[in-house]
Structure 1
């Protein structure tokens, strides 16, 4: 009987210990990251916090918004909500579905540019911890640079001269990008070189306040600079889709690839032997580089969660150097936004990351506030005119005028300008 009583006591103690553990569930669209979270990130957190268990429960990316909305309305959503940047997450906060994180210690590790995608328009309330961004620039084939005797261009003149040398050689496509899908022309074209031309945050915020326009100054200059790419795109680029361009570059048939850092991992998988380098957006009119350090993913707390304190513990860890090191190396090309020290092993990712110390930073001009109108939509307009510009069916001035006219048709600070 004594032995039985002792055994029951042990079982009771074990049960009580288990009851003290909290389980957090993470909602996310990054189902491609499941293995990374399961095998690396969660075990590292649980080692430091053994009383908090974490379950990563992603949905398919295209279905995430609808699935999350349904779960939130039904009261079945997880404790932690992975946040898309800007308006979708702002809508969750306005609907009181995620909580304010003001006062969370980990937020001290982020600057205003990093927090902007998950803060109210006035910047006073932040509702998701920034996790990672993607950086825009250029990836190039190092072996072909050596073969053709090329050096990394740092100015617009040097960039165009480099493209002309490649074209004169005749063996390779100088600049690997197509216009079929349109978004690349704007995203890794216009928004890649543009921030340098329009002085980064000064220009981007000027569009929001109404003191800057798409058809003036640096914004018009960016369209003019983008138009200069046209002679150097691959043969038949008008029919070239995004995967086609990736294949062309991965096979060594093109020399320079206008890129987002997200392409690094893709090229590593497509051709492990591809010798890649990277360079930052070139100087335009003598201006110092500004990189598009675009916010990609954050994480907030479900307002209905019963485990908010444990969730805050997890978010403080997400803001740490330990998380940054794990995430940056597990997903090369996705860069933690916290101002903490971390190292990246992938040499091309290292190069992208280095630009944060060499260049100023901003993000895509159309993403905050300016694309809230369904039709016309600022982001969609930039896709359309950037592709038409490269296709030769629109001049830089006509492209800029159209974008500006459509923005002024609904956005009060730009009306009549």
Structure 2
């Protein structure tokens, strides 16, 4: 009897120690330094409340150092259990090197549509290696007071858009808070914002990847022509104006419209007296289907060498839950959950942008998948070429030819 009790006692101790070994500290790697307080004060306590015994630590690295330092830690076996994933090729490279677990079929993944997971899948779509967290939506913010004063309505079509810009200009108001000094805004806040309505979103993007469309085709040239027309409505000295200058110009009410993404909402919502509105990229003509750039920003993956893999999957299942989606969407204003859950967005401007998903088809920045892999770099070409088009230094047809020639140099499906 005494021996049996001893065996039972030993087994119980072994089970308890195994449980203790499982319930350790989970470490999350991320580049989102700005989100540290949110994770530590809101998200992690919400998770730990219903998962006693699992401690979570958020360990961010500066965005400019994240990719290289994370790669080094993963290679050295010292990285955290959970990895914040950038979209497309950076995370795909980590998966191909064997650093990230395959997540297909894992709890929580069922709450995401195929379009939500595309940024964290292999090219053939067979393996998913990060759970989607959030995306940003592109569009235009506008100053409601200026619009009201001039009796203007948010434009819906290309013609209406330029009528509004012309009215603003004639009234002595700088129509667009936009500069080209930093270049990236020309591409990411203008061309890939307004372009999907011309190349029909995913249809045009996938046709480029398949080699069935060229960047010299009419839809892509028309988007550049739209951009060229916008150039006439920038403020003085726009070629020397930085992103920060544009934010400041719009915040101070010195320009009426700001081409941007939803990430800027929280910045402007802190400006006293600024009444914000938002409108979607204009369609070519009334009745046309609309498309929005709903671009994947961040996902979360599981380190293949995670010390605490079982709990990492528990945490991941929670990231795929309604509770997480609600907190993240409403506390990180302008970053929208990619899950299928119905979320009530509380910020009025963010809510307005999120509702575009109900009437417009979502697409991503067309060069984000596959098209950035060669030289010349599609991303840097887009920055340079679009800023020149906005500055009136490069004609749309010439810009399109230069983009296409650079693309065809390295991408075989474009060489047919």
Q: What TM-score do the two structures reach when normalised by structure 2? A: 0.94
What does the per-residue CA deviation read over 1:284-316, in whole Å, with 9 as the maximum and x for residues that have no partner?
145321000000000000000132221111111
1:25 counterpart residue number: 27
Give the 3 Å change call, closer, same or farther, for CA 272–312 of structure 1 in structure 2.
Answer: farther
Q: How does 1:326-405 map to 2 (within 5 A)?
A: 326-373=327-374, 375-405=375-405
CA distance in structure 2 between the aligned counterparts of 1:50 and 1:247, rounded to whole angstroms: 46
- Does the 8 Å CA contact 1:178/1:233 hold for their aligned counterparts? yes
Which residue is equivalent to 1:278?
278
Report what 1:141 is aligned to: 143
State the secondary structure of the residue aligned to 2:300: strand
What corresponds to 2:88 in structure 1?
86
Aligned pairs for 1:249-288 (under 5 A) are 249-269=250-270, 271-286=271-286, 287-288=288-289
Cα distance, 1:224 vs structure 2: 1.2
- Secondary structure class of the residue paired with 2:410: coil
1:17-416 equivalences under 5 Å are 21-170=23-172, 172-269=173-270, 271-286=271-286, 287-373=288-374, 375-416=375-416
- Contact 1:292–1:364 under 8 Å retained in 2: yes
Give the Å deviation of 1:78: 0.4
Deviation at 1:410, TM superposition (A): 0.5
Deviations 1:363-385 (A, max 9, x none): 00111000011x30111111111
Whole-angstrom distance in 1 between the partners of 2:162 and 2:241: 22
Specify whether residues 71 and 165 from structure 1 end up closer, same or farther in structure 2 by C-alpha distance, changes over 3 A only.
same
CA distance in 1, matches of 2:53, 2:399: 57
SS in 1 for 2:125: coil
Contact 1:20–1:51 (Cα < 8 Å) also in 2: no
In structure 2, the residue corresponding to 1:325 is in which secondary structure? helix
Query: What is the CA–CA distance in structure 2 between the aligned matches of 1:157 and 1:285, rounded to whole Å?
Result: 8
Question: Residues of 1 paired with 2:338 and 2:306: CA distance?
Answer: 26
Take 1:16 and 1:193, find their aligned partners in 2: how far apart are those partners?
55
Query: What is the distance in 1 between the residues matched to 2:372 and 2:280?
Result: 27
How many Å separate the matches in 2 of 1:49 and 1:356? 33
Give the Cα separation in 1 of the matches to 2:115 and 2:212.
19
Q: CA separation in 2, counterparts of 1:16 and 1:68? A: 29
- DSSP-derived class of the 1:213 partner: coil
Change (3 A) 1:99 1:19: closer
Please report how far the alpha carbon of residue 281 of structure 1 lies from its aligned counterpart in structure 2 after TM superposition.
0.8
Retained in 1: the 8 A contact 2:22–2:311?
no
Give 1:268 shift: 2.2
How big is the alpha-carbon RMSD for the aligned residues of Structure 1 and Structure 2?
1.6
**3-state DSSP of counterpart to 1:229:** helix
Q: SS at 1:26's partner residue?
A: strand
- 1:194·1:222 contact (CA, 8 Å) conserved in 2? yes
C-alpha distance in 1 between matches for 2:285 and 2:404: 23
2:28 match: secondary structure: strand
- How far does residue 16 in structure 1 lie from its aligned partner after superposition? 8.9
Runs (4 or more) in structure 1 with deviation over 6 Å come to 13-17
Deviation of 1:217 (Å): 2.7
Q: State the alpha-carbon separation in 2 of the partners of residues 18 and 115 from structure 1.
A: 34
SS at 1:228's partner residue?
helix
**1:56 counterpart SS class:** strand
Name the counterpart of 1:5. Answer: none
Aligned-pair distance for 1:22?
2.7
Structure 1 residues 118 and 232: CA distance shift in structure 2, 3 A: same
Q: What's the TM-score, normalizing by structure 1?
A: 0.94
> Is the Cα–Cα contact under 8 Å of residues 302 and 309 in structure 2 kept in the other structure?
yes
Supply the distance in 1 between the matched residues of 2:221 and 2:388 (Cα, whole angstroms): 15
**SS of the residue 1:150 aligns to:** coil
Contiguous gaps of at least 5 residues in structure 2: 1-14
Partner SS for 2:341:
coil
Shift of residue 273 of structure 1?
2.6
